[in-house]
Every structure is written in structure tokens, then in C-alpha cells.
């Protein structure tokens, strides 16, 4: 059995507008009433996010002083995953087509995300995504889970998934962050990085994924083109007989 484990934000959902809206809100809330600040364009802001420029530095580049920048970063952490801003998320281009292709191919499809259950349920309901992911193929955080760091939390979620899911002959992870790369590699899962999310190529390359592609569709096409291990074994046995 072939299994694809996909992250949610990045490969499936485009979160760039949500992050940009939160950036604008936090900048406005943090600046003094008489203070002139420089609101970045979405392209500039998202480029900094994708290259992992710290939130504090983004605040300083926007015209805040050091103390304000610290407050800006803290407010952003408190705000970015709150329900009122999830409305700004959108489906990544081609994501649904890719998920339908996986489903039609009979591949075991799993979502593994740092979203809490209510955040995932909201997106599932809004975009009719539950049809791709039955409850026993959804790995997410509990609503009351206290996050530490994604690079620590996501491997724990992957560990749980591997323990609970039935055995598969070939498993691939598709994700857009270092947490996805680490979670997969820690558990011997092959991993593909996608460039449609919150990290650029230079950031993904540091974690040495098996492949880097532009989006979920390209990742799915690659995985579906690979022979399964049992197919290779059958081919090798036939060669021995010959």
C-alpha cells in the first residue's frame, strides 16, 4: 500500500493573506498614534517570512523601535492562529485536483498538521475537504494543546500517526517547512518539500528533503510515478529467473 502524508497549511491551504492581514493589524496596534511606520507590501512581507526573518526584525524593518518590535512579535503569536483570521485562508491553486488524483489512485491519504481541531474543522467545512480525509486519517493538535515549537511538536504527531496507521509498503510526506522535514526524517519517511508555502528553496534545502517541487500537484505526480517496493521486488525476481 502506498501512503501520502500531507501537511495542511502550505501544500493544501494558502495562508499568505492571513499572515499579511495579521501583520497589518499588529503593526497598527503597536505603533504610537503619532508614529510614522512603513507598511510592507504583501510580496515583501511574505518574502521575509519565507526566508525565516524573525518577527521582531520584520517589526523593526517596518519602523518600530526595539521595544515595540518585541510587543509586535508577541501580539502576532497571539493573533495569527485565531479564528477571526482563518477566513483569509484560501485553497492553494491545484490542491483539490491533486487530492482528487490521489483519491482516484486508491492511495492512503493522511493529513498531519499543527492546526488545532477547530481550525482544521473550519477549513474542512468551508472547502469540503473532509471527503478526502476520514477522521482516522487526520492528525492534528487538540484544541487545548499548548504548543512549544513545531520542530518538536510535529515529530510527536508523526510518531503517533505511524504507531496508529496500518502498515504501508511506501510512505511519503509532503510539506513546506522544516518541521515537516524533521518529522519525516526522524521516522524514516521520505519527504518532498513544496515551494508554495511559508519557506523558500534555500530554507528547505538546509533540511535535505528527497525532492523539492513547486506545489502539491507536482509532488503527487512524482509519488504516483514511482514503483512500489513490492513491484521492484517482483521485477527483480523475474530478472533472476531469466
pLDDT in tens, 109-165: 999 999 999 999 999 999 999 999 999 999 999 999 988 889 999 999 999 999 999
Identify whether the C-beta of residue 21 lies closer than 8 Å to the C-beta of residue 75.
no
Name the residue range of residue 181's domain: 2-14+91-237
Cα 107 to Cα 61: distance, rounded to the nearest angstrom: 45
Residue 167 lies in a domain: yes
pTM score, whole prediction: 0.92
Identify whether the C-beta of residue 4 lies closer than 8 Å to the C-beta of residue 175.
no
Q: Is 55 helix (H, G, I), strand (E, B) or coil?
A: helix
| Mean pLDDT, residues 198-225 | 98
Residue 197 lies in a domain: yes
Residue 242 lies in a domain: no
Domain final residue, candidates 86, 101, 135 = 86
Q: Is 98 helix (H, G, I), strand (E, B) or coil?
A: helix
- Residues 10-30 have pLDDT tens digits of 999 999 999 999 999 999 999
Examine the domain organization and report whether 79 and 170 are in the same domain. no
Q: Please, which pLDDT band fits residue 234 given cuts at 50, 70 and 90?
A: very low
Examine the domain organization and report whether 69 and 9 are in the same domain. no
Q: How many domains are there within the chain?
A: 2
- Residues 34-86 have pLDDT tens digits of 999 999 999 999 999 999 999 999 999 999 999 999 999 999 999 999 999 99
Residue 175 lies in a domain: yes
Strands 108-116 and 2-6: parallel
Displacement of CA 123 from its chain's centroid (Å): 14
DSSP 8-class letter at 40: P
Q: Which residues contact 147 (CB under 8 A, 6 or more apart)?
A: 114, 141, 153
Q: Is the pLDDT of residue 236 over 80?
A: no
Amino acid at each position: 500500500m502506498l501512503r501520502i502524508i500531507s501537511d495542511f497549511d502550505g501544500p493544501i491551504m494558502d495562508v499568505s493573506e492571513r499572515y499579511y492581514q495579521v501583520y497589518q493589524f499588529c503593526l497598527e496596534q503597536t505603533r504610537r498614534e503619532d508614529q510614522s511606520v512603513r507598511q510592507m507590501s504583501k510580496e515583501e512581507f511574505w518574502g521575509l517570512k519565507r526566508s525565516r526573518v524573525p518577527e521582531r526584525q520584520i517589526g523593526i524593518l517596518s519602523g518600530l523601535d526595539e521595544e515595540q518590535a518585541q510587543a509586535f512579535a508577541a501580539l502576532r503569536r497571539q493573533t495569527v492562529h485565531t479564528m477571526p483570521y482563518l477566513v483569509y485562508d484560501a485553497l492553494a491553486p491545484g490542491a483539490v485536483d491533486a487530492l482528487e488524483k490521489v483519491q482516484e489512485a486508491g492511495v492512503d491519504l493522511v493529513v498531519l498538521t499543527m492546526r488545532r481541531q477547530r481550525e482544521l474543522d473550519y477549513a474542512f467545512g468551508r472547502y469540503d475537504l473532509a471527503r478526502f480525509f476520514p477522521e482516522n486519517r487526520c492528525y492534528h493538535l487538540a484544541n487545548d494543546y499548548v504548543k512549544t515549537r513545531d520542530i518538536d511538536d510535529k515529530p510527536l504527531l508523526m510518531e503517533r500517526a505511524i504507531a496508529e496507521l496500518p502498515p504501508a509498503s511506501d510512505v511519503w510526506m509532503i510539506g513546506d517547512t522544516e518541521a515537516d522535514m524533521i518529522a519525516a526524517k526522524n521516522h524514516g519517511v521520505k519527504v518532498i518539500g513544496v515551494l508554495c508555502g511559508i519557506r523558500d528553496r534555500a530554507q528547505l534545502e538546509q533540511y535535505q528533503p528527497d525532492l523539492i517541487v513547486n506545489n502539491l500537484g507536482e509532488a503527487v505526480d512524482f509519488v504516483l510515478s514511482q514503483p512500489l517496493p513490492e513491484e521492484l521486488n517482483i521485477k527483480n525476481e523475474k530478472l533472476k529467473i531469466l
